[in-house]
Amino acid sequence: MSENKTKPTAIDPHEFIAAVPHPTRRADATILADMMGEVSGQPPKMWGPTIVGFGIYHYVYESGREGDAVAIGFSPRSANLALYGLTIAPTAPALLAQLGKHKLGASCLYINKLADVDLQILRQLAADGYRYMMDVVHCPS
C-alpha cells in the first residue's frame, strides 16, 4: 500500500507567496490564497515545497493506496498557475465552459494569469470543489 508523497510542511505559505519571483504570478497567488481561504474557511498550509493548500481530505482507493491530500489548492509555477481540486465537482464542466482561457490536466486546472479568467466563476469552482472534496470524496479515517 503506497501513500501520497506530498505532505504538509512547516513552510509559511505567506512567505512562500512573497518570494514568488514573477510579480504577476505573486499578485495572482495572493488573490488565490485570499479567495481559497474565504471559500474554504481554512487557513493556507504548504504541502511539499510549492503547493498552497486549503483543507485536507483522506482518500482510500480500491487498490489499497490511501493518504491525505489538499481539498483545494494552487501552485504558482513559473509557466502558469496550477489549481487543484477545482475540476472534480459535478458543477465543474459547466463552470469551466464559462471560465475563460485555461487548460486542463489529469487533475489540474492551468491558468496563465488571473486576468485571463472570470474570477467569480473561478471562485465558484473553488467553493464547489472544496464542498465536493469534503462532503463526497472525504473518507473518514
- CATH of 13-137, picked from 3.40.50.720, 3.40.190.170, 3.90.1150.200, 3.20.20.10, is 3.90.1150.200
The mean pLDDT value of the chain amounts to 91
Give the pLDDT band of residue 108 (cuts 50, 70, 90): very high
> Which amino acid would we find at residue 16?
F
Burial (Cβ within 10 Å: 0-12, 13-18, ≥19) of residue 63? exposed
**Domain residue limits, the chain:** 13-137
Q: 0.85 cut: is pTM over it?
A: yes
**How large is the average pLDDT for residues 72-91?**
96
Give the pLDDT band of residue 141 (cuts 50, 70, 90): very low
Cβ atoms of residues 130 and 124 within 8 Å: no
Do the bridges between strand 51-60 and strand 66-76 make them parallel or antiparallel, or are there none, so unpaired? antiparallel
Which tens digits make up the pLDDT trace of 4-38? 567 888 999 999 999 999 999 999 999 999 999 99
